[in-house]
Structure formats: C-alpha cells, structure tokens
Amino acid sequence: MTTTTHLVKYEDLNHHGTLFAGRASAWLVEESFIMAAKLVGKPENVVCVQVKNISFKQPVKRGDLLSIKAEILAIGTKSITVTTKAYTDENQPPVISCEAVFVTVDEKGVAYAHELNSKLSWIGVQSVTNSSTLPALFTVPTAPTVPTAPTVPTAPTMDPFLIPYDSTDWRHALALYNTRSDPKVHPNLLGPPPTDMSAHLEYLRTLRLHGRRSFYMISLGTLFVGYCHISPLSKESYQVELGWAVAGEYQGKGIGTKAVKLLIAEAKEKYPNNDLVLFVKCTNDKAIRLYKKVGFEEIRTTDNVTKMILKEK
C-alpha cells in the first residue's frame, strides 16, 4: 500500500468552490502509478493504459486533508491493476475512488511480460488477469475473471476469524504486503517493511523454504484485514513466538484483541506443551496494553524490544 496526503488549497478548486475533479483524478492516478512502480521496481518501465470506475461520492472542501491510498488489485502477465481511494476521514467511506491499469513496457514502448510472474510462482501465487479490462493493444491471454473488490463490512458486531495462509491464493500474498507496508503498521514491525512486492515475495519464499513460520489471514467477512503468525523458536527453548498486525483502517475496533485470542487458542492446540511468547517494541504502548489484557506479562526488555510470555491460567 502507498499513501499520500494533499492539503486542498484555493488553486485546487473548481467554480463551485470544491475540489476540481480533474485535479483529484490526477492525484489518484499519480498515487496509482506510484503503487505500480513500487511493485515493478522500475518507474520508467510502467505506463498507464486505462483509468476506470472513477467515482466522486461527495465534495471535498478547501482546507480538507485528502488522504489517498493505493493497493494492488490484480496482477496479469503484462498488466497491473491498482485500486485507489481518497479519504477526508479515514473512519468514513472514501469520498473518491478509481481503478487504474498499467502495463510494463521496454525502452521502445513495447509491452512485455514483467518478471513478477516468475516471482509469484516461487510461492505458488496465481497470476490473475481479466483481459477484457485492457485496451486491444495490450490484451493478454484469457485467464480467470478478477474478483470484484470486497465491500468493507458495516456490521460493527462482525467477528474476525483466522484462515491459514494459502500460497496458491494470490489475494493472501497481496493482503500480507498491504498490511506490512501500511504506514500505520510498519513503524511497529521489528523488521523493515517491504520495499516493494518483489522483496515481499522473496521474504515469503524464504520463510516457506525454511518452514519457520505459519501465517494466518485475519478475515472479516470476505475481507482480509490483517495477518498473524505462529513461529516455533529453538527446540531447546520450548517456546513458540506469536505475532500479528491489523491494517490501519481497521485498528481501534476490537479486531486485534479478538484475533490475538483466536491465535492463542490455535497455538495452544498446535503446541500444548510450549510456552507462548511474543516480542514487541517497548514504545508500542497500545500493543503492550492489549497483550497484558489477554494474559501476557513482561519478562525482559533489551535493545528497545520487550519480550512477553503468556501467564498460565
């Protein structure tokens, strides 16, 4: 995920005194391009061939802070489809949204198959393209229809559930990437966030080869809102590490607390004789409070990282 915030100024307005649609469209397409370029790693090889489904749901006023977020929607043989949404209040639905299709081209402007397909195959992720969404010049072989983007659940009582990570489901890899690169998430990661999708896929491939970590997707209805993992430490320690993250727009809704409880239950079932531990930045007060709430206690702090262990009940 990429995010940019614009302050809506006088020169951005139309004759109605609200944000000019052309200026807003340019901002969303630009953010879409940044997302696609980060995925490919070479901005000079990415061009936009189509913008579609652009929707202006309510006016944006002068002085508003417009937060624009872009995510990968689908990956084809030559194409990348990005969905981009703009918010004046991240606790409310987007005020503007669109989808943009990009293709990779060489120095002569000829479309070519990007290397992402081979990298996706490292972890078994499917490459999915709806060729009908591309102009004729860039049509690619027919493949399964891209699923429509899931609607954000509106029922506040909906409970999350865990789904084991499926290396054959491309949506899982993308949801993991979007969460780990979320600006509200990556500052609290113990490791660096993914620089682009290629680095993220290599990270997943390495974990899969070593069998060190079991990932689970945190699902809210049909929407993936985060991830968690269970990682056995050394055999001598008899400890199992837990970890989790919820995408920024779903934080503060009780989803994380419920997901951690589900993760604890899953870990206890898989490793009934092991201690459950976790590591968290000592500056992440919000997470530490949550962990204490579900039964963890601090046992050590070194290098600004606090280790916690689940108390026996």
Q: Are residues 287 and 176 in the same domain?
A: yes
Q: Are residues 262 and 228 in the same domain?
A: yes
Q: What is the CATH number of the domain that holds 94?
A: 3.10.129.10
Q: Are residues 122 and 76 in the same domain?
A: yes
Q: What is the CATH number of the domain that holds 265?
A: 3.40.630.30
Domain count, the chain: 2
For 69-86, the pLDDT digits (tens) are 998 888 888 888 899 999
Last residue of one domain, picked from the residues 107, 138, 169: 138
Q: Residue 277 pLDDT > 70, yes or no?
A: yes
- The pLDDT, as a whole number, for residue 26 is 92
Q: Are residues 104 and 215 in the same domain?
A: no
Quote the longest CA-to-CA distance of the chain: 71
Q: Which of helix, strand or coil describes residue 238?
A: coil
Q: Are strands 275-281 and 305-310 parallel, antiparallel or unpaired?
A: antiparallel
- The pLDDT, as a whole number, for residue 84 is 94
Q: Which of 63-72, 125-134, 303-312 has the lowest mean pLDDT?
A: 125-134
- The pLDDT, as a whole number, for residue 149 is 43
Q: Are residues 203 and 292 in the same domain?
A: yes
Give the start-end residues of each E strand in 88-185. Answer: 96-104, 161-164
Q: Are residues 73 and 126 in the same domain?
A: yes
Q: Is residue 292 part of a domain?
A: yes
Q: Are residues 66 and 186 in the same domain?
A: no
Nearest Cα residue to 222 out of 152, 141, 290, 287:
152
Q: Residue 99 pLDDT > 90, yes or no?
A: yes
C-alpha–C-alpha distance, residues 242 and 239, integer Å: 10
Average pLDDT in the 99-117 region?
84
Q: Is residue 183 part of a domain?
A: yes
Q: Are residues 107 and 215 in the same domain?
A: no
Q: Is residue 156 part of a domain?
A: no
Q: Is residue 152 part of a domain?
A: no
- The pLDDT, as a whole number, for residue 220 is 84
Q: Are residues 108 and 183 in the same domain?
A: no
Residue at token pair 């649609």:
21
Last residue of one domain, picked from the residues 86, 107, 138: 138
- Residue 154 C-beta-side C-alpha neighbours within 13 Å: 3
- The pLDDT, as a whole number, for residue 210 is 59
Q: Residue 166 pLDDT > 70, yes or no?
A: yes
- The pLDDT, as a whole number, for residue 171 is 77
Q: Is residue 190 part of a domain?
A: yes
For 206-232, the pLDDT digits (tens) are 776 556 678 899 998 778 899 999 988
Average pLDDT in the 226-250 region?
86
One-letter identity of residue 311: K
C-alpha–C-alpha distance, residues 243 and 221, integer Å: 22
β-strand partners of 218 = 162, 226
Contact predicate 112/106, CB 8 Å? yes
Nearest Cα residue to 3 out of 173, 171, 218, 186:
186
Range of 240's domain?
Answer: 161-310
Q: Are strands 46-56 and 214-220 parallel, antiparallel or unpaired?
A: unpaired
- The pLDDT, as a whole number, for residue 8 is 95
C-alpha–C-alpha distance, residues 105 and 119, integer Å: 18
Q: Is residue 149 part of a domain?
A: no
Reported as a pLDDT band with limits 50, 70 and 90, residue 102 is: very high
Q: Is residue 235 part of a domain?
A: yes
Q: Is residue 147 part of a domain?
A: no
Last residue of one domain, picked from the residues 104, 138, 172: 138
Q: Are residues 197 and 126 in the same domain?
A: no
Q: Are residues 111 and 242 in the same domain?
A: no
What token pair was written down for 142?
């027919």
Q: Are residues 33 and 114 in the same domain?
A: yes
- The DSSP symbol for 60 reads -
